[in-house]
Chains A and B, each alone.
Chain A
């Protein structure tokens, strides 16, 4: 067996990370602490932030905005997607507007959202919701729409009523698509959380980033960034595992 075969993929990942850290450190020497702190400076700064409780408070504040906005997006997005998929007329009517809205940079709506909801938590939740809802609607709609018509007819032949077709055929058939929508929506919701915290009243991790960035505390700056990266990874990985479990019965998986 070659040397490549003996090292596990986790091993390779650690090696890649170490190489990255060394390159980072080497690059920080000519750049200077102000522009690029070495990872050796970032670690103690991170420990300081955790010890002072500053990072935890900011994370909890961001998490609150994220969870409320994301939950609202799931509830409304799945409902609208199922409605559009189950009633073809509604779907055909709204499809073009949903796609148009999805293609519009949603940051463009932030001044308008502030006009309506102010600068506090409600406005932030709306920003997160607006970022997250579109992929959820679009994927749920596609999932319900792609339900095998043969299965619907089979259910009808056993005497299934409309509600039973929704519950027993359309929803389970759409579930893998819905989870894909949730994964994409979750990533968007993370982006939305930071955007909301930067563009409305400063708060949470977004506030820390703006604060440390603006005052040249670059070593501390990487703390909240790391937390955001970890949050995003946890959310998307857990949904990916869920997606795989759901796809057990499928021979081919659809990646969006």
Chain B
């Protein structure tokens, strides 16, 4: 792996949050000794149970958070502040409701101080890429969820960032829209050749999109395993869910995640052999 191709280099990063109630300070460890390398044009998916620090890792890569220890390097540079190097796509879209679609896409460019004519051209280019060129004058609330998130994607890409960070971007969409968005995203990714880090709860989604899957474990978040996905692309061209690779990996990942959450109180409703759950006693 040549270092010039290394887009994201996360080295032994740890992060602890502090929950303060009055004078009592209870530390909540979020990540412990996490490392991740992403090369140019690579698609990496982060999966794992809730509370495993997937989103925290994404924020650290972006610079929205700073690690307590360890380093985050983007293109070989340390300590980059949030800005145009990374495009961020949020689960809740986070479009500005008082701006039109076009004005939303050009918003980050406006922040960067780009001239109006230039940013309009740029914004229109990326609206065309996501297929929304006919909706530039609409307001976000007039669009469906899938369309709103396409605006979110165009907004992130319009910055022409070095990396694209996506935090469960399709989790708020219905199942059908979600599948279309996955196909759309893999098409755009193939066209732009940008490095992507994608957080998801859906194993199907991770296996459809990812070159590699990073399985994380909870409390504190650690990297449990890195799994390459060698299914040929484009994966929408065949029934990839019927391939043995997909089925094997899905079953394996599900088993791993299930064993991680088995001890957690919110999953205690799973009947287990050794527990003396009061089944049938009433």
Contact = CB atoms under 8 A, between A and B. Distances in A.
Asked if chains A and B come from one complex, the reply is yes
Interface of A: 150-151, 153-160, 164, 168-169, 172-173, 175, 248-251
B82 interface: yes
A157 B84 contact: no
A154 B159 CA distance: 14
Nearest to B139: A249
A168 B97 contact: no
B94 A159 contact: no
A158 B83 CA distance: 5
B98 A172 contact: yes
Contacts of B90: 150, 154
A168 B81 CA distance: 20
A248 B96 CA distance: 13
Given A158-B107, A158-B108, A169 B96 contact: yes
Interface string B124-159: 000000000000000111000000000000000001
28 contacts: A150-B90, A150-B92, A151-B94, A154-B88, A155-B107, A155-B111, A156-B64, A156-B82, A157-B62, A157-B88, A158-B82, A158-B107, A158-B112, A159-B81, A159-B82, A159-B83, A159-B108, A159-B112, A160-B111, A168-B96, A168-B107, A168-B110, A173-B98, A249-B140, A249-B141, A250-B97, A250-B141, A251-B141
A172 B139 CA distance: 15
Contacts, number: 55
Interface in B73-92: 81-84, 86, 88, 90, 92
Contacts of A154: 88, 90, 94
Contacts of A157: 62, 64, 82, 86, 88
A249 B159 CA distance: 25
Name B's interface SS.
Answer: loop
Nearest to A153: B64
Nearest to A165: B111
A251 B86 CA distance: 31
Contacts of A172: 96, 98
